[in-house]
Chain A
Amino acid sequence: MTEGMRFAVGDRLAPLTKPPVTRTQLVMYSGASGDFNPIHTVESFAQEAGLGGVIAHGMLTMAFVGQMLTDLLGECGELETFGIRFIDMVRPDDIITCEGIVTEVEEDADGQIVACDIWAKKTPSGEKVVQGTARFRTFR
């Protein structure tokens, strides 16, 4: 990112489309996060739980949205708040695209404080899987 990154209300954040979610990724995320709930990794367990198969950790999708924000900011800004609501389940082979739009901008001596709406959706259906808000600051 170049120095002096500036935002205005209505700006679209650079979207991030992730590769399809894989079962291996769910196993890796279980190991890395310590969330070993078998609904994410054991097909028969997820079927019996009435889920129709394994589902991704909600926090994996949140991490995708986090990556969109940190990719955007690089070292020219810092995330202050980040919150989402989980709307729908994500499954292996789903392709997730993260997007956002700037809703408020405040100027101060160090740079800008930027609030935005953020979400993730399935591609190409467009069904939203998470929706929330984030605030970050940028440095001059």
Chain B
Amino acid sequence: MDVDMGDFLPLVGVWSKPVKNEVEKGAIRKFAQAIGDGNPLYHDEEAATKSRYGRLVAPPTFSRTFDYGQIPHLVLPVAGLIHGEQSYVFHRPILAGDVLYASQGLVDVKERSGKLGRMIILVFSYKVENEAGDLVQTSTSTVIYRPEGDNRHD
């Protein structure tokens, strides 16, 4: 697949339509189990009820599981993508039973040339809001694509 900056530049600033995500207890427990985190706030409803959260809590990176919708016309190469950076700003905790709306946008594209050849750097933003429209979490993900490079992934 031949990909260059020109494929992405027109999509900078384009966002997906927000998608409804319901935060399920089972999904929190499965995620916590997969990362090997036995924190009672993620697993034990009684402990969570007694906590200041009142309900099962999602681990910090749980929002990775959400459906953020499709950025219209964005086609990513299937191989050669490397996850370069990931960051979160937490505004409100994510709790079991929350109904949240998640969307993603392409916010920047850069091209760099280095020892390892040409790199296209894509920056995606992710937004999670609650039903009242309050911001719950924002995150940013930097993905590096090497058109001529090897296929190392994150």
| Contact flags A11-44 to B (C-beta < 8 A → 1, else 0) | 0000000110000010011011111010100000
How far apart are the CA atoms of A29 and B62 in the complex, in Å?
11
How far apart are the CA atoms of A70 and B85 in the complex, in Å?
20
Query: Is there contact, CB below 8 Å, between B89 and A33?
Result: no
State how many residues of chain A have any CB contact under 8 Å with chain B. Answer: 40
How far apart are the CA atoms of A33 and B64 in the complex, in Å?
6
| Contact flags B22-55 to A (C-beta < 8 A → 1, else 0) | 0000010011011111010100000000011000
How far apart are the CA atoms of A68 and B78 in the complex, in Å?
33
Give the nearest-CB partner of B32 in chain A: A32
Give the nearest-CB partner of A63 in chain B: B35
CB of B13 within 8 Å of the partner chain: no
Query: Is there contact, CB below 8 Å, between A63 and B90?
Result: no
How far apart are the CA atoms of A81 and B153 in the complex, in Å?
25
Q: A50-B151, A58-B154, A86-B85 are in contact. Are A32 and B27 (CB under 8 A)?
A: yes
Sort chain B's interface into a size bin: 35 or more
How far apart are the CA atoms of A33 and B63 in the complex, in Å?
9
| Contact flags A62-86 to B (C-beta < 8 A → 1, else 0) | 1110110111000100111111111
Nearest-CB distance from A136 to chain B (Å)? 9
CB of B148 within 8 Å of the partner chain: no
Query: Is there contact, CB below 8 Å, between B152 and A89?
Result: yes
**CB under 8 Å from chain A, chain B span 82-132:** 82-90, 93
CB of B59 within 8 Å of the partner chain: yes
Partner of A49, one of B35, B84, B88, B153: B153
Chain A residues with CB under 8 Å of B35's CB are 29, 32, 60, 63-64, 67
Q: Could you list 10 examples of A-B contacts with CB < 8 Å?
A: A32-B27, A33-B31, A35-B64, A49-B79, A59-B154, A60-B34, A75-B41, A81-B88, A85-B85, A89-B152
Given contacts A51-B151, A83-B87, could you give 6 more A-B pairs where the C-beta distance is less than 8 Å?
Answer: A60-B34, A63-B35, A66-B59, A67-B39, A75-B51, A82-B87
